[in-house]
Amino acid sequence: MIEKHIFSNQLKTDLTVTSPGRINIIGEHTDYNNGYVLPAAIDKTITFKLGKNGTEKTCRVYSEGYGDMLEFELDSITKKQDGWENYILGVLHEISQRTDKLKGFDCTIESHLPTGSGVSSSAALECGLAYGLNALFELGLKKWDIIKLSQTAEHDFVGTKCGIMDQFASVMGKKDHVMLLDCMTLDFKYIPIDIAPYRILLLNTNITHNLVSSEYNIRRRQCEKGLGILQNKFGDGITFRNMTKSLLDQCKKELGKTIYNRCSYVIEENARVLKAVEALKNKDLEKFGQLLYKTHEGLRYKYQVSCPELDFLVDFSKDWNEVLGARMVGGGFGGCTLNIVHVNALDNFIDEIRKAYKKQFSLELTHFITVPSNGTAFL
Ligand code: GAF
């Protein structure tokens, strides 16, 4: 692998792809537990300009954000120590496993998504690249192939044993809709979301703890262990979806306190997703908001993936009648909270919470208001 400094304006462009980040309304850490999730793509994206460069295997990828130019040969792709390049290299590796149609290409990446903020810039990066190369070289990949190969790329090259939600949301997003995905069967349906006069506000703590990936993988292993114990006792048919609290309680001792809490959270969160869908359908926004608060509580105390900065923002919001609900989004340990805020109170709320956050942590709070948007597409 060689990194060279070539002028980015020399790179070829034949097509442009835009690939969104995602929010998750509810259903956190349930995807890799074969549960339900309710994500949406957002109106913040990464743009890819892609072109064939006429070579057999030379690839040049320029990231405008990092100001980095990466040049390498398709037949010598290896994982780097860390960094954004692994998302790219992982996707190329996965595509090369499936087809030999991929040839040398140029790519310029421009990101409008904050990284490490729980809105999945990683899935946007993986899926946007795969989507663009699929069209450029007529690889014949279907949307689900793109979703799955991007997930595998993240497992093998980045090392996060993520679920399927982020890649799914980035590719399949639909304007003004959330998606109820059953991560066991991969069946999904689009659900219209109309929360007017409320808005979806993302508050960014601007901290990313470097434990995200390692703790994430630990949570996944704990749940697998818990499920194994439960299946041993009640049979292979037991899942986190048909498990009741009383069955779980029968295994309290074998599970131990930590794993018991992890399992308990997953069971409750699956049920909350379905309740939230009902609440949205009935336009019961008060109930919808309360479910978000409950999810945060579960993530904070039982699943233990929150952090003081996220908790502070959620707690602060509880004193505002104009905020229906708030919770951390994504893997946790930093990133954003998602808040359902009345349009008339937005400016005031943002102003007050920003000041309070700065006072408490000496950190800048940034924000954006978002709407469910379309998935990866050509520009
Ligand atoms: C990260 C992962 F990539 C997702 O698969 C999901 O597990 C999420 O954390 C937590 O719900 O974004």
> Phi, psi at residue 51, to the nearest 5°?
-150, 150
Task: Please tell me the distance between residue 11's alpha carbon and the centre of ligand 1 in angstroms.
Answer: 34
* Contacts for 4 with CB less than 8 Å, ≥ 6 apart: 69, 71
Q: Predicted ipTM?
A: 1.00
Kindly state if the Cβ of 219 falls inside 6 Å of ligand 1.
no
- The pLDDT score that the predictor gives to residue 5 is 52
Dihedral (C-alpha) 185, 190, 195, 201: value to the nearest 10 degrees?
Answer: 70
Using a 10 angstrom Cβ sphere, with 0-12 exposed, 13-18 middle and 19 or more buried, the burial of residue 239 is: middle
Kindly state if the Cβ of 38 falls inside 6 Å of ligand 1.
no
Given 75, 82, 100, 166, the catalytic residue: 166
Residue 166 annotated among the catalytic residues of the structure: yes
What whole-number distance in Å separates Cα of residue 39 and Cα of residue 183?
Answer: 12
Nearest ligand 1 atom to alpha carbon 37? 11
> Which residue out of 28, 162, 168, 186 has the highest number of ligand 1 atoms within 8 Å of its CB and is therefore the one to mutate?
162
Task: Please tell me the distance between residue 56's alpha carbon and the centre of ligand 1 in angstroms.
Answer: 36
Task: Please tell me the distance between residue 205's alpha carbon and the centre of ligand 1 in angstroms.
Answer: 18
pLDDT tens digits in sequence order for the chain, 379 residues long: 444 455 677 899 999 999 999 999 999 999 999 999 999 999 999 999 999 999 999 999 999 987 888 999 999 999 988 888 999 999 999 999 999 999 999 999 999 998 888 999 999 999 999 999 999 999 999 999 999 999 999 999 999 999 999 999 999 999 999 999 999 999 999 999 999 999 999 999 999 876 678 899 999 999 999 999 999 999 999 999 999 999 999 999 999 999 999 999 999 999 999 999 999 999 999 999 999 999 999 999 999 999 999 999 999 999 999 999 999 999 999 999 999 999 999 999 999 999 999 999 999 999 999 999 999 999 9
Q: 127 near 22, Cβ under 8 Å?
A: no
Residue nearest to atom 5 of ligand 1 (CA): 163
Q: What DSSP character marks residue 373?
A: B
- The pLDDT score that the predictor gives to residue 3 is 46
